[in-house]
Structure 1
Amino acid sequence: MVVTYKDWHEMLPFALHGYRTSVRTSTRATPFSLVYGMEVVLPVEVQIPSLRVLMDVKLQEAEWVRTRYEELSLIEEKRLAAICHGQLYQQRMKRAFDKKVRPRVYHVGDMVLKRILPPQNDRRGKWTPNYEGPFVVKKVFSGGALLLTTMDGEDFPSPVNADAAKEGLKRTTASSMIVCALVKASWIIPGGDQSESFCSEGRKHGESEEIWGVTELELDEITGFTLPLG
């Protein structure tokens, strides 16, 4: 533990020694043993000789060399065992993580907020907003990416990862009517094919015909403003 932030470099060798001689949970071995094939001799074992040190001292040089050669010949086996333990550890971590994760499922027409990346340097500090929006999900890709569009109908230049978005409005009757009306107002093309295909997505997800057949008067009653419907 450093006394001040200026003497961290003096304590670095001790921190590295502790890390290299400690058994890692993922590999069930010390980094030192995976490199040299034997456990490190601690300074306290030199000052107060341990059984291992006493036995090495009594060995003849030829016998010590033979013992050391056997340890080095088994180092590859130790490393393979460490790799297997590491893979099992990663699988356990993944299972534990997956238990706590709720997959985010979005549908076309959902209103979402997008996380602001990277974090902006703002004078408001912790009061700086982390999300912007709302935006409308225009397309959902199989890999978990979303193609968003603004409320004015402007598409994002590239898809957004679903992890960087969160649900902005629930798929209630009111929000469904607003989304459909906005899409009809901003995305309509000659013939009305695009708006009709978009609104048909609402029917696929259980929305009634009355909801997606909202009239201009009904929208005015819900939102307080009127949009021209296609």
Structure 2
Amino acid sequence: MLRKECMLQPTSWGIAYQGTLWAYRLSYKEATGYSPFQLVYGILPIEPFEFLHGSPKIAFMQEKKNCDVFQRIRALHKVEEIRLLATKQLIETQMKRKEAHDRHLWNNNIEANMLVLLHRPNIHNQLKGKWLPHWEGPYRVKTMLNWGAVELETLKGEALPLVNISRLKAYHQAN
């Protein structure tokens, strides 16, 4: 939507960009559990229509102007607490995503000296067409390295660059 609007009226992209940036900063992020605005300022943002029509948030903020130094220090500690909670939530979210990824990643039974096929979709899509098989090979597994890295070699013994085990599947010869 923004791109189309900017193309139709190229002189107004700055206005549309500001609105998009504001919307991004206010939106809740699933990974952290907070919006970027909350992580910076430690409070929920006051939206533009609240300035026009008034709201309890604005009344509270005007009342808060007269607060003492200790209240401001507590507010700063609250920002730090929110950031620590967001960091904890981010780590938990990343671990959940990694577990889900690894659940599917390590399900193959590939071992050293086994024949495998290598998945190379980009080469096939560019050169031959998207309906052709994306698997090349067979290749022989030379060694299994840490964290899913695998050394492959052709059947003639020529070495290939390291690949991730997720790009391999076992090769079964037809009878």
Aligned residues: percent identity?
Answer: 27
**Cα distance in 2 for residues equivalent to 1:133 and 1:114:** 6
| Bigger relative CO (Cα 8 Å, ≥ 6 apart) | 2
Alpha-carbon distance in structure 1 between the residues aligned to 2:3 and 2:161: 49
For 1:96 and 1:146, locate their aligned partners in 2 and report how far apart those are by CA, in whole Å.
21
Deviating beyond 6 angstroms after TM superposition, the runs of 4 or more aligned structure 1 residues are none
Spell out the pairing of 1:36-47 with structure 2 (5 A cutoff).
36-47=41-52
- From 30, 39, 56, the counterpart of 1:34: 39
Secondary structure of the 1:138 match is strand
TM-score by length of 1: 0.60
Paired amino acid for 1:70: R
* Matching of residues 1-230 of structure 1 within 5 Å: 1-2=1-2, 4=4, 6=7, 9-10=13-14, 11-57=16-62, 59=63, 61-63=65-67, 67-116=71-120, 119=123, 122=126, 124-127=128-131, 129-151=133-155, 153-169=156-172
Q: CA deviation at 1:109?
A: 3.6
Number of residue pairs matched?
A: 170
Q: Select the structure of larger CA radius of gyration.
A: 1
Question: How far has the Cα of 1:119 moved from its partner?
Answer: 3.8
Q: Any unmatched runs of 5+ in structure 2?
A: none
| 2:111 partner amino acid | H
RMSD: 3.1
1:128-174 deviation per Cα after TM superposition (whole angstroms, max 9, x unaligned) = 553321122233335433332222x222154332222222216x8x6
Distance in 1 (CA, whole Å) between partners of 2:67 and 2:146 is 63
User: How much does 1:30 deviate?
Assistant: 1.5
Query: Does the CA contact (< 8 Å) of 1:147 and 1:155 recur in 2?
Result: no
Structure 1 position 121, deviation (Å) = 6.5
